[in-house]
Amino acid sequence: MINLIINRLIILSIMLLGVVSKQNLFAAEAKAEKEKYTVSSDTVKKPGIFIIGENQAQYELIESKYATSLLTVCKDDINRAFRTWMDVLSEIQKFADKTGFELKGAKLWLNVFIAPDGTIDYLAYYLQPASRNIPEKEMKAFLLSFIKNNKIPLKCKTGFSHYGQVAFPILPENISN
């Protein structure tokens, strides 16, 4: 049990470090991008699926509106945040199984943007280099269908987000507890 908790803490710490590093990287890029583009909130359609890096100006606008982290929404309870994230990944896998979409071998970076009521407004993804190839059009259609049919079981006063990586299939021992 203690090993399981320690493993979860390590995994969530790594994921959180990735968020901090990513935010620092994007802060520097944001300054340059904002000089090139102006994006208003009405140009960003909901729900939205896009590839990380596809439209940096819109991505940064979305990030600024969903600045609260999943860990903060979970009142800094790392185990609850980890379980919530694993539940989201498990639901993606179940939805793929239900719809016949093949995710086995897919390795992704995901950034999920959630409305105050738990609705997934946006999902940004990027297939990792070692991932099984999934055509962009198919992946976007699958993820769009997923976010239209699923909610995160959390509520918050503001929108929130979480960034992490996943390799499918999700193993049952990683989901439980």
Chain segment 69-119, per-residue pLDDT in tens: 999 999 999 999 999 999 999 999 999 999 999 999 999 999 999 999 999
Whole-angstrom Cα distance, residue 63 to residue 27? 11
Whole-angstrom Cα distance, residue 22 to residue 76? 20
Q: Could you tell me which residues come within 8 angstroms of residue 5 by beta carbon, excluding any fewer than 6 positions away? A: 79
Q: Model confidence at 168, in pLDDT bands (50, 70, 90)?
A: very high
Torsion angle, alpha carbons of 88, 163, 149, 172, to 10: -20
Q: Considering the entire predicted model, what is its pTM?
A: 0.71
Mean pLDDT of 156-174: 86
User: For residue range 14-23, what is the model confidence (pLDDT) as tens digits?
Assistant: 655 555 555 5
- Extents of the domains making up the chain: 2-175
Does the structure show a pLDDT above 90 at 161? yes
3-class DSSP assignment, residue 161: strand
Q: Model confidence at 128, in pLDDT bands (50, 70, 90)?
A: very high
